[in-house]
Amino acid sequence: MSDHLVRAACLSKINHPLIIQDLPLAPIAADELRVRILYAGINFYEAMILNGTYPSIPSPNHCLGGECLGEVIGKGSKVLDFKRGDKVVTLAQSGYGTSGTFATEANIKAIYAFKAPIEVPPDLMAALPMAYFTAWLLAHTRVKIQKRMTVLIHSAAGGVGMALINVLRACAWESLTIIGTCSGQSKAKLLKQKGVDLAIDTTESSWKKIVKQQYRTGVDVIFDANGANYWDDNLECLKQHIGQICSYGAYSGPITDPQLVTKLRKKNLTLSGFLMWPLIENRSLSEDVFRNLFCLLQQDKIRPQIDKIFPLDQINKAFDHLRSRKSIGKILIQM
């Protein structure tokens, strides 16, 4: 297939809006799929790319985006497991593994594509990949969840937070108590509807104060994507000897505490970390995760929460909405 132009949202420079333009799409490489994008998901790490705070920044004029639902319209010579017309979801990273999914078409390395069940509504399928892949692995591999535990999820109304609630309830750990922090009463109300036992609006109350008042011995597990700002408070709210905390993001900055190990040892706590990008290189692991997620989705045991869908030409408004922290669940771009 010869080079041709696609409509795409491209990085111009740091702290500037994405530019919508016609961009040449290179021929399909041997290990790639050519995908017509139906929906693309936006994520907070891409907002960090735009403001220059993410560790790796694609070069200027690069189309961003790595998560999508699309239809295969071409494939390279080494790709054997896909055919034209297949619906696929992707887990590629902006600037790596794809020409960029904030576009009408994209070239995507086949290792990062997974066949999607056709009976699932396309917007729900598009909202699944990154948030639910992360949530599944957080719940099943980074901590040890047991019945009757108390689990605290920070930013619980975000994409991963909502997915975590959904996965924890779908997998039916007996008598699990879930606490969720969020910003705003509308979010707190929805969290209660989604199965959270205690929803804390951080704009009105101190989450640490409420947790310590209601769970005097502490909570068993904390999932945190905030990072530095919550670090000491998180440790203070964990149970002695058995508390577990999983750090899977650093929205407020990385944890650089030189006393980190000392503080963990003092209470005999367990800290685990999570980064998705190395894990998606493991094809068998990724396929197993999606096999489980697709099964739960088809059984209607999980249902991704969609906040809002924007057209491609309003992608900068979509990122403004993400940064406002008013979104509840996933924000999608529809092509």
Question: If residue 221 lies in a helix (H) or strand (E), which one and from where to where?
Answer: strand 221-224
The band of 325, judged by pLDDT with boundaries at 50, 70 and 90, is confident
Q: Is residue 101 part of a domain?
A: yes
Q: Is residue 280 part of a domain?
A: no
Q: What is residue 56's predicted lDDT score, i.e. its pLDDT?
A: 83
Distance CA 220, CA 154 (A): 14
| Residue 91 sits in the same domain as residue 38 | yes
| Residue 138 sits in the same domain as residue 259 | yes
Question: Which domain covers residue 89, as residue numbers?
Answer: 4-127+305-334
- In this structure, the dihedral spanned by the alpha carbons of residues 168, 285, 92 and 25, taken in order and rounded to 10 degrees, is -140
* Residue the block writes with tokens 């945190």: 224
Q: What is residue 254's predicted lDDT score, i.e. its pLDDT?
A: 84
Q: Is residue 42 part of a domain?
A: yes
| Residue 246 sits in the same domain as residue 197 | yes
- Phi and psi torsions of 137, nearest 5°: -70, -35
Q: What is residue 223's predicted lDDT score, i.e. its pLDDT?
A: 98
The band of 69, judged by pLDDT with boundaries at 50, 70 and 90, is very high
Q: Determine whether 73 is exposed, middle or buried from the number of CB atoms within 10 Å of its CB (0-12, 13-18, 19+).
A: middle
CA distances from 307 to 45, 151, 157, 166, 187 (A): 18, 24, 10, 15, 11
| Residue 16 sits in the same domain as residue 85 | yes
Q: Is residue 156 part of a domain?
A: yes
Averaged confidence pLDDT in the chain: 94
CATH number of the domain to which 78 belongs: 3.90.180.10
| Residue 196 sits in the same domain as residue 226 | yes
Q: Is residue 107 part of a domain?
A: yes
Q: What is residue 153's predicted lDDT score, i.e. its pLDDT?
A: 98
Q: Is residue 289 part of a domain?
A: no
Tally of domains in the chain: 2
Q: What is the pLDDT of residues 143-159, one digit of tens each?
A: 999 999 999 999 999 88
CB neighbourhood size of 88 (10 A): 21
Q: What is residue 1's predicted lDDT score, i.e. its pLDDT?
A: 43
| Residue 11 sits in the same domain as residue 108 | yes
Q: Is residue 297 part of a domain?
A: no
Mean per-residue pLDDT, 255-280: 95
Q: Is residue 94 part of a domain?
A: yes
| Residue 13 sits in the same domain as residue 49 | yes
Question: If residue 108 lies in a helix (H) or strand (E), which one and from where to where?
Answer: strand 105-109
Q: Determine whether 224 is exposed, middle or buried from the number of CB atoms within 10 Å of its CB (0-12, 13-18, 19+).
A: buried
Q: Is the pLDDT of residue 141 over 80?
A: yes
Q: Record the tokens describing residue 171, joined without a space.
A: 């997998």
CATH number of the domain to which 240 belongs: 3.40.50.720
Distance CA 196, CA 153 (A): 10
Q: Record the tokens describing residue 10, joined without a space.
A: 């491209």
| Residue 69 sits in the same domain as residue 55 | yes
| Residue 123 sits in the same domain as residue 134 | no
Q: What is the pLDDT of residues 34-67, one digit of tens each?
A: 999 999 999 989 999 999 888 888 888 899 999 9
Q: What is residue 6's predicted lDDT score, i.e. its pLDDT?
A: 97
| Residue 90 sits in the same domain as residue 150 | no
| Residue 218 sits in the same domain as residue 267 | yes
Q: What is the pLDDT of residues 104-115, one digit of tens each?
A: 999 999 999 999
| Residue 108 sits in the same domain as residue 245 | no
**pTM of the full structure:** 0.93
